[in-house]
Amino acid sequence: QKEVEQNSGPLSVPEGAIASLNCTYSDRVSQSFFWYRQYSGKSPELIMSIYSNGDKEDGRFTAQLNKASQYVSLLIRDSQPSDSATYLCAVNREGSSYKLIFGSGTRLLVRP
């Protein structure tokens, strides 16, 4: 089992729809969770960070964390073609908080 799992996609949604991206992780005591966006040929850029159970909203983005079920999700409301990218979920590994483990990413396509 991979430490951080994501569906590779592509996830295709029409412009204006809600895109829902999911991530599961295996380490029960992970504390820090991040969503990064990566455009093709570019470096990852931070979208959201979340440390506590529940929802965290920032503009059109909402991160949801459920530690009991070991999943973290990212909702993108009013999806735009410019949101088309690969979204990487990252989780820290217990016992070594410096080690951030990345999922392989979900490719999102927003159709105009």
Partner 1 sequence: NAGVTQTPKFQVLKTGQSMTLQCAQDMNHNSMYWYRQDPGMGLRLIYYSASEGTTDKGEVPNGYNVSRLNKREFSLRLESAAPSQTSVYFCASNLWTGDLTPLHFGNGTRLTVT
| Binding region for partner 1 (CB under 8 A) | 4, 8, 31-32, 34, 42-46, 49, 51, 88, 90, 92, 97-105
Ramachandran region, residue 20 (left: φ > 0; alpha: ψ -120 to 50; beta: rest)? beta
**Cβ of residue 15: shortest distance to partner 1, in angstroms?**
27
How far apart (Å, rounded) are the C-alpha atoms in residues 61 and 49? Answer: 11
**Cβ of residue 88: shortest distance to partner 1, in angstroms?**
7
**In terms of CB distance, is 19 or 33 closer to partner 1?**
33
**Cβ of residue 38: shortest distance to partner 1, in angstroms?**
9
